[in-house]
């Protein structure tokens, strides 16, 4: 039996624009998904999942001659999506080990809300590939795991995925992603993240498609995407200078442009404004938007407290930058 964990992330800057070749800076946070894998006698996959968003479910599928559907009555879209990611992670581990037709019992435990912009699926895929590969006797380096995890996200999300989430989760820390070029950013200043979560999920596929339509219909929407790229480039300089106040200002600007592209939501805007009024250095939505999480830079305890009392904010929590990526737990 092997267990691996991998962190979730927030986008400091650059989501959506990264899909069109602009750079983005995601940062790993100290909230993890843990995946435990044990080889089975047959070819089936049995998954038990327990996390913040799902009340817990068990599904079994696969194996030759068996019904490929899960043995739950009506798999919800979230369960269906989770199955796709886990199936993909196992396939990547089998491929890395040069094996085929091996089944596993898999347990997923996650502190990261699903579909809320914190990279839960990437963390599960990264940890799953590492745990399953080690269960098969193969040690993969973090770069290879990031690459294989990206292939899984790309397939499950019908080609609409950047390398940002998977690279950040595998490597940890703050990273810069532009197309296929992914690097860690060293010596970042302390970033006092506080996260507000509205309890909702955004539909990444629909939101990405919405931005694409706007970008094709309006030149100024295309300019907006490019401007987000400019914010990221300025943000890299601010990170290098350790200028946390400037980082906050750029986060505010980034949120405004994401709003203009139609990917914010009333609940996200409400949390962003509550954070700003509580003296946050900056606040923006994180991830695809539509619902889910915002990230703010909290120089005092005030932003955290204000978010806790903001109507529509289901959970508010601090999250330190996690410098460690995929980790072997057992």
Q: Is 267 one of the binding residues for ligand PMV (CB under 6 A)?
A: no
Site string for ligand PMV, 107-126 (x = CB under 6 A): ----------x-x-------
Quick one: which segment of 30-38, 55-63, 160-168, 228-236 binds ligand PMV (CB under 6 A)?
160-168
Annotated active-site residue 51? The verdict is no
Would the CA dihedral through 234, 319, 58, 141 be positive or negative?
A: positive
The residue within the footprint of ligand PMV, chosen from 5, 204, 264, 303 (CB under 6 A), is: 204
10 Å Cβ neighbour count for 282? 24
Q: How far is the CB of 220 from ligand PMV (least distance, A)?
A: 20
- Report, in Å, the least distance between residue 108 CB and ligand PMV: 17
Q: Which of 161, 195, 272, 306 binds ligand PMV (CB under 6 A)?
A: 161
Residues forming beta bridges with residue 3, ordered by sequence position: 36
Is position 165 an interface residue for ligand PMV (rule: CB under 6 A)? Answer: yes
How many CB atoms neighbour CB 241 within 10 A?
11
Instruction: Collapse the DSSP code of 109 into the 3-class scheme (helix H, G, I; strand E, B; otherwise coil) and give the result.
Output: strand
Q: Is 110 annotated as a binding residue?
A: no
Does residue 236 touch ligand PMV according to CB under 6 A?
no
Distance CA 27, CA 49 (A): 25
Q: Of 325, 328, 323, 314, give the one whose Cα is nearest residue 52.
A: 314
**Residue of 287, 291, 294, 313 that binds ligand PMV (CB under 6 A):** 287
Q: How far is the CB of 221 from ligand PMV (least distance, A)?
A: 15
How long a stretch of residues is the chain?
Answer: 330
> Helix axis angle, 77-97 relative to 120-135, nearest 10°?
40
| Options 106, 142, 145, 164; binder of ligand PMV; rule CB under 6 A | 164
Least Å distance, CB 227 to ligand PMV, is 15
Which one of 6, 12, 19, 114 is in contact with ligand PMV (CB under 6 A)? 19
The token pair at 161 is: 């995925």
The number of beta carbons lying within 10 Å of the beta carbon of residue 266 is 10
Quote the least distance from Cβ 163 to ligand PMV, whole Å.
8
Q: Which residues pair with 155 in a beta bridge?
A: none
The rounded distance, in Å, linking the Cα atoms of 292 and 264 is 10
87, 147, 165, 198: the active-site residue? 165
Does 16 sit near ligand PMV (CB under 6 A)? yes
Q: Is 115 annotated as a binding residue?
A: yes
C-beta neighbour count of 206 within 10 angstroms: 12
DSSP state of 188: P
d(CA 256, CA 261): 9
State which of residues 288, 294, 303, 325 lies at the interface with ligand PMV (CB under 6 A). Answer: 288
Beta strands in 40-91 (DSSP E): 45-51, 57-61
Q: How many residues bind ligand PMV (CB under 6 A)?
A: 14
Does position 319 interact with ligand PMV (CB under 6 A)? The reply is no
| Residue 119 annotated as lining a ligand binding site | yes
Name which of 216, 306, 221, 220 is nearest 270 in CA terms: 306
Tokens representing 170? Answer: 């595998």
Q: Residues marked as binding? A: 113-123
Q: Residues marked as binding for ATP? A: 113-123
Active site residues: 165
Q: Contact residues for ligand PMV (CB under 6 A)?
A: 15-16, 18-19, 117, 119, 161-162, 164-165, 204, 208, 287-288
């Amino acid at each position: 039996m092997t267990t691996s964990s991998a962190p979730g992330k927030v986008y400091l800057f650059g989501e959506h624009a990264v899909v069109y070749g602009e750079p983005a800076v995601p940062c790993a946070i100290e909230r993890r998904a843990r995946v435990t894998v044990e080889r089975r006698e047959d070819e089936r996959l049995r998954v038990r999942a327990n996390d913040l968003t799902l009340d817990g479910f068990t599904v079994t599928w696969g194996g030759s001659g068996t019904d490929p559907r899960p043995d739950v009555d009506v798999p919800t879209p979230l369960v269906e999506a989770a199955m796709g990611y886990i199936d993909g992670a196992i396939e990547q581990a089998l491929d890395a080990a040069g094996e085929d037709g091996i089944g596993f019992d898999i347990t997923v435990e996650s502190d990261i809300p699903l579909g809320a912009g914190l990279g839960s699926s990437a963390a599960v895929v990264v940890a799953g590939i590492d745990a399953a590969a080690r269960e098969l006797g193969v040690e993969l380096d973090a770069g290879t795991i990031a690459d294989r995890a990206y292939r899984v996200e790309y397939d499950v999300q019908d080609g609409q995925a950047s390398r940002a989430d998977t690279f950040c989760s595998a490597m940890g820390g703050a990273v810069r992603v532009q197309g296929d070029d992914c690097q860690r950013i060293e010596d970042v200043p302390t970033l006092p993240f506080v996260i507000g979560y509205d309890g909702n999920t955004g539909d990444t596929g629909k939101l990405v498609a919405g931005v694409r339509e706007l970008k094709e219909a309006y030149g100024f929407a295309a300019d907006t995407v490019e401007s987000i790229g400019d914010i990221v480039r300025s943000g890299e300089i601010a990170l290098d200078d350790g200028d946390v106040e400037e980082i906050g200002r750029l986060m505010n600007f980034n949120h405004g442009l994401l709003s203009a592209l139609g990917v914010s939501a009333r609940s996200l805007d409400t949390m962003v404004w509550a954070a700003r009024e509580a003296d946050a250095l900056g606040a923006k939505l994180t991830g695809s938007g539509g619902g889910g999480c915002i990230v703010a830079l909290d120089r005092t305890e005030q932003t955290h407290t204000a978010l806790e009392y903001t109507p529509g904010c289901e959970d508010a929590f601090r999250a330190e930058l996690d410098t460690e990526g995929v980790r072997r737990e057992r």
